[in-house]
Amino acid sequence: MARNSPHPDPLPGGEREKRSRATGVFALVLVAVLTALPAFAGVTQVKLKLPLKPRLPLRGNEKIALAPFVIATEAEKARDRRLQNVDLQAEFQRFLKKQIEKKTKLEVVELPGDRKLPSQNLSELGRSTEYWRALGAETGAEIIVSGSLEFRVEDRSGYKTEEYVSPIDGRTYYRQVYVEQTGFLFDIVFLVFDGRSGEKILQDQFKDFRQTGGRRADELQGLFENLFSLENQILNLFVARDREAERYIFTD
């Protein structure tokens, strides 16, 4: 004989199943959160501003002469029309002078525009002590900056593999697509000389590469993208700069 339960279940079977499934999911999420918690609890990320010492031991108010730089891509200029649109020497000198005058207390000494370098070879330039000493005496500059510049515009266009989900069958396929891109490469070698002794006191190199969409990206814009990204490193040769850094600290 079937007996009636004293506390009949108020929920129909389907509803009861739904509830028990929801409780199960909730319990699983809770377990996952509690398991993951110790890994994250008690640690936080903080930002610091770290000082970068100037690379050159300067007082800060020296007279500085900006000598011409060797243009490493000069020979390619005749063949590459895009390089013909950029007067690299003039643009870089103008950029460097402006940055030094704006962000340091150094006094920039003007050099005659037709000043010739003793050599187009970087190593020989570094050894031309007599030349740099004479230039220092002539201009009164305590430090002289020179070096080499390389700027290249590269056509990076080409076929690239791309993932493609078909709207018809929803499956993923791979296809080749033609992407137009231009790359700008900038490479500077700095040579810094003591204007009194003519000795080389520092050699440093900075490189930057930028890539933009489109084949006809503007060369000058590309050049300045490179220069602005190197600005902090270039100025750090002469003055202290800040660098932002991230660290972890424990909170308990």
Residues that bind another protein (CB under 8 A): 43-44, 46, 48-53, 55-57, 201-208, 233, 243, 245-252
Nearer CB in complex with another protein: 82/226: 226
Closest of 71, 86, 102 to residue 223, by C-alpha: 86
Closest of 110, 137, 120, 121 to residue 193, by C-alpha: 137
Nearer CB in complex with another protein: 7/59: 59
> Does residue 195 contact residue 129 with C-beta atoms inside 8 Å?
no
> Does residue 180 contact residue 211 with C-beta atoms inside 8 Å?
no
Distance in Å, CB of 241 to another protein, minimum: 12
Nearer CB in complex with another protein: 55/127: 55
How many CA atoms does the CB half-sphere of 165 hold within 13 Å? 2
CA distance to 51, 60, 70, 148, 157, per residue, from 239 (Å) = 11, 7, 24, 21, 40
d(CA 205, CA 55): 12
Distance in Å, CB of 147 to another protein, minimum: 12
Nearer CB in complex with another protein: 76/242: 242
Nearer CB in complex with another protein: 43/90: 43
Three-class SS state of 92: helix
Distance in Å, CB of 163 to another protein, minimum: 32
Distance in Å, CB of 236 to another protein, minimum: 10
CA distance to 16, 35, 38, 155, per residue, from 25 (Å) = 14, 15, 21, 54
Nearer CB in complex with another protein: 206/224: 206
CA distance to 57, 71, 158, per residue, from 92 (Å) = 24, 11, 31
Distance in Å, CB of 55 to another protein, minimum: 6
Distance in Å, CB of 159 to another protein, minimum: 31
Nearer CB in complex with another protein: 98/243: 243
Residues comprising the chain, all counted: 252
- Which residues are registered as beta bridge partners of 51? 242
The first and second tokens of residue 234, run together, are 């270039």
Distance in Å, CB of 246 to another protein, minimum: 7
